[in-house]
A and B are shown apart, each in its own frame.
Chain A
Amino acid sequence: MSQIHIALEGEIDWDGFRAAARRLLAQGVAPDEASWSTGTEADLFDSSAAGAPPAGDDGAHATVPAAFIDLCERVRLHREPSRFALMYRLLWRLQHEPALRHDPLDADVLRAQAMAKAVGRDLHKMRAFVRFRPVHDGQPEPLHVAWFEPEHHIVEANAPFFMRRFTHMRWAILTPRRSVRCDGTSLTFGPGAARSDAPPADAGEALWLTYYRHIFNPARLKLDQMRKEMPRRYWRNLPEAELISELTAHALPRTGRMVDAPATVPRRRIALLAMEDTVSRSTASKPLPSDPAKALAALRGATDRCRECPIGEHATQSVFGEGPVKARLMVVGEQPGDKEDLQGHPFVGPAGHLFDKAIEDLSWDRSQIYVTNAVKHFKYELRGQRRIHKTPTQREAAACLHWLESEIEQVQPQALIALGSTATRSLIGHAVPVLKARGTWLTGQHTLPVLVTVHPSALLRGDPALRDEAYRQWLEDLSQAARYMAGAARG
């Protein structure tokens, strides 16, 4: 078995690898018949003894998953000399073992992935730990120079990142094997440099050290956690790392002093902002302003702090009624939904949109109607990250009733529309079978006429095939209140 040796032109010679791999594959050269070297190692081998890869078929028909190319783009940057052999072996196996591309747990695949991950980490750490220092070289803007010691051959691959980030800054990154410089429009790569070629600390860096010193909370010392993310080998090039031992040594005494110190006497106290306590029924019975608009505003504020039932604490805000103070018609829904809870306005969600459409189809004017809900806070159940509407219990609706009653008292409508069973029960005083009673007028607790119909969200939930018919029927129910709307239109 003759060995074929491939000498690539540099550590990261991607085109060279691809061309050679294609040729080898086309000629059926098995992975263990080929050996690979990069420019720096090539002279270790007697290159004349290495069989030059025969020319011929370029292997263009070889197909690999796109993800494999991405993987190799990373793996080739690894410092491990065997990386090209591994890549070729995987390429070969992909052509000869159809199952391989579906096996994420193959040993070679996992090894390549581990190498790619190491490279990815190195790329990331370089982006994180490169520290530029300005050098004034006679140009109007300083040149920013950094010294960094990457583990793998990542300088070329990472340079575009720094260019995207620091486009209008002149900068250079020096590393032991490569250096790169950017003038704002193009990148120039050069040979490696020495640490002494990079500039020493400057005055501006002292600010950074001050920040580092003071953002550290001595009561939370967690050195292992820090070393996990910022391994020691990076410390020698990070200016702030010099502070670590000092900060660590003083952490315990500092914390001890804080814990032991007697609580201090307050310097001064400002008057507490006037804050209302949570409102209970008793405080709600405080006299309201005589002007209905002001009274409604007071009620709105009070419902927001209402905790007479448990749902208030979980909602964002109360959603109080809206509409003209002396509306002839008041529409009462069940409770606010997700959108209403977020926005603080009634009937702005999907059911509200349907209600608006009905108003339009009936040629009514929403600005003439007072719209509210029987329950002022949104009750829901969490399902994952979604809030699913939950019907309020009788007890919760009863706890909320006095708010609705106060609202009716202030608006003094001539008639009410109850949407759905919760609203109907609140207005009539007992449970009413809505489907039977819909489209009829009942007499409410306040002797006001109450037109009963279904809630628009019931139409949204219903059978889509019957939706048009259900909507038409709903319009018919609502149209019973036309007399009150017509009156409103006359003023």
Chain B
Amino acid sequence: MNTQLKLAILADAAKYDASCASSGTERRDSLGGRGLGSTEGMGICHSYAPDGRCISLLKILLTNFCQYDCLYCVNRVTSNVPRARFSVDEVVQLTLDFYRRNCIEGLFLSSGIIQSPDYTMEQVVEVARVLREEHDFRGYIHLKTIPDAAPELLARAGRYADRLSINIELPTEAGLATLAPEKDAPAIKRSMARLRVHIDDAKEAAQASEAVVSMPRTKPKRAKAERFAPAGQSTQMIVGADAADDRAILATSAQLYGSYRLRRVYYSAFSPIPDAASSLPLKAPPLVREHRLYQADWLMRFYGFGHEEIVASGDGLLRLDVDPKLAWALAHRERFPVDLNRAPRELLLRVPGLGAKAVERVLAARRVRRLRSDDLKRLRVPLGKALPFLLLPDHRPRAIDDAQLAAKLQPAPVQGALFA
């Protein structure tokens, strides 16, 4: 089988993983080295696919042979998809070639589980090792770690990778037990805990070595702390494959952020796969629901919302017609309007349409003068959305009931139907 065909099969096999980010790592470049590559903190999306998702990394599987039988997965052992396996060197050459063409920021490597979790993990780590040690590749590397792989292998992976991730796959232990019988929720969490301990230790060591005071008139020298996944760890959860509602999903995310300091939880709307198992919902992926979950996740991470207050409805689902912040505001109208010129940051962050950056600028500007609605316009705040909740010297919102307001704010879109 030639590289072209393998690449087709193994990219196909990897396209269901939502994570793509190449950001958040240390700054590096290839000056003074033997190879190529750089990372400058902010990731670069080198292309976009017609599904709207960015292509930042060469995202492939080392192999799509897999001995597990996770029902939601196109690569499960009982699936009839064509199989392929890359050699370590093929992945290395592809990565370097695409990188030289400036098509990618680096590599995101995952794998089906073959022989044993340890064997698989060893192969994945070997690709990263060859890239880093033999080619002095300084671009971004994201490795998917195999839960249950030996702690030493995780430790080695962290030395080469910028980011590590382990997919939690499903929001509840029960869901995982049903759909992925060989995957072990406690083992996944244990691996995440191990990674967090490594990442924390490396950070602490780095801080400690920075604090070293050097002798006068000698160049400050510090022992370089052992690096470990400087861009942290992330995970992915599949949405819509089981019955877990949004409240359960957000509770799990909050728990993962709090327990393991994940940089990101990715939500992946369960999408139809070729050769699907009969027990799964074969329909268009719930993309709007996925989008609302990302918005809700954002509220938890940057807007001070607790996971338990975001989903208001009795059915445990986020509203599809309005974004979660607006939904919250509509459900808590007694808290509004707030005075743009006086309200504390926490409250401003809860005003629909006011983003975190806009809030910072409002806070800075109002130290100098009183803000009016023109200022909001200049900040490019969507006025129709924000004004009903704000009190300004030149604007006093009229009391308005939920239904009227929601109707005024936007027409209610529904979950897009692919075959309508």
Residues of A participating in the B interface, judged by any CB pair closer than 8 Å:
99, 102-105, 107, 110, 124, 127-134, 144, 146, 161, 163-169, 204-208, 210-226, 229-230, 238, 240, 244, 247-248, 251-252, 255-256, 258-259, 261, 263-264, 266-270, 272-273, 275, 304-305, 313-314, 316-317, 341-344, 380, 382, 384-387
Contact = CB atoms under 8 A, between A and B. Distances in A.
Contacts, number: 250
A90 B97 CA distance: 47
A255 B418 contact: yes
A222 B52 contact: yes
A317 B35 CA distance: 42
A110 B59 CA distance: 39
Nearest to A205: B101
Contacts of B269: 220
A229 B94 CA distance: 25
Contact of A167 (B36, B44, B361): B36
B89 interface: no
Contacts of A99: 368-369
Interface centre among B50, B173, B193, B255 (most CB of A within 10 A): B50
A212 B79 contact: no
Nearest to B45: A128
Contact of B285 (A124, A219, A223, A384): A219
Contacts of B45: 128, 229
A238 B25 CA distance: 27
A224 to B, nearest CB: 7
11 contacts: A105-B379, A133-B101, A161-B38, A207-B94, A210-B4, A213-B8, A220-B271, A225-B48, A248-B50, A258-B272, A272-B181
Interface residues of B, number: 96
A166 B138 CA distance: 10
Contact of B78 (A229, A267, A305, A385): A267
Interface of B: 3-4, 7-9, 11-12, 14-16, 29-38, 40, 44-55, 58-60, 67, 69, 77-80, 94, 97-98, 100-103, 173, 181-182, 184, 186, 189-190, 192-194, 196-197, 254-255, 257-259, 261, 269, 271-278, 282-285, 287, 304, 306-307, 361, 364-365, 367-369, 371, 375, 378-379, 418-419
Contact of B50 (A223, A268, A304, A380): A223
Contacts of A216: 15, 49-51
Contact of A165 (B8, B29, B272): B29
Contacts of B79: 264, 267
Residue of B52, B60, B419 most packed against chain A (CB within 10 A) = B52
Nearest to B282: A259
A165 B37 contact: yes
B304 to A, nearest CB: 8
Given A216-B50, A275-B181, 5 more contacts: A211-B58, A215-B15, A229-B48, A255-B272, A382-B255
A110 B379 CA distance: 8
Nearest 10 A/B pairs, CB to CB: A225-B52, A222-B52, A263-B278, A266-B78, A164-B29, A214-B11, A220-B51, A165-B38, A167-B30, A216-B49
